[in-house]
A and B are shown apart, each in its own frame.
Chain A
Amino acid sequence: DGGITQSPKYLFRKEGQNVTLSCEQNLNHDAMYWYRQDPGQGLRLIYYSQIVNDFQKGDIAEGYSVSREKKESFPLTVTSAQKNPTAFYLCASMSKGRLGGYTFGSGTRLTVV
């Protein structure tokens, strides 16, 4: 079955450390997105990419970086510059037709220790 795979499910980061969250899809979708979810805040857009080797900053990109070297993969790096990284991170993708909406991965819960 097609879908989006995020890994790891849980991640613990020490202060000053960079960590990378994996997102892989086999839906052949062009567009991919990273959202951050905090309690009571809804989902906020970090980065998005519509085609390979191209991506744009979302609303809260500071302290994050991404790459899109392959259509299937859109990893997110949480750098030490992100002062409050503890959150639930969701990766999503969507086909060009967009009538099927976003397909979300199961998420990565990142905690700073």
Chain B
Amino acid sequence: ETGVTQTPRHLVMGMTNKKSLKCEQHLGHNAMYWYKQSAKKPLELMFVYSLEERVENNSVPSRFSPECPNSSHLFLHLHTLQPEDSALYLCASSPDRANEKLFFGSGTQLSVL
């Protein structure tokens, strides 16, 4: 186990649904990240939180809304998604934003119908 837990593992949703992805880290880290992983493409950084403050969003569409209530928990709220948003969504943490070593969760495999 990496110390980063993501739920649910799998999610199927319609384009009009609202759902949330959850991430929890037990490592005492101060930085958390959301990544999108699509087949045959590099990992795409979506959001960065450092000490619960969002520091970057990389021009992600507003249908993705992150929330970081404390340094151990991270959410990704989804609404009005498109089929091309189907992908594996990975949460990661690092000791702090300056530390490059990432600890990933197992991801949520999202399918948008």
Partners in one complex: no
Name A residues whose Cβ lies closer than 8 Å to a Cβ of B.
Answer: none
Name B residues whose Cβ lies closer than 8 Å to a Cβ of A.
Answer: none
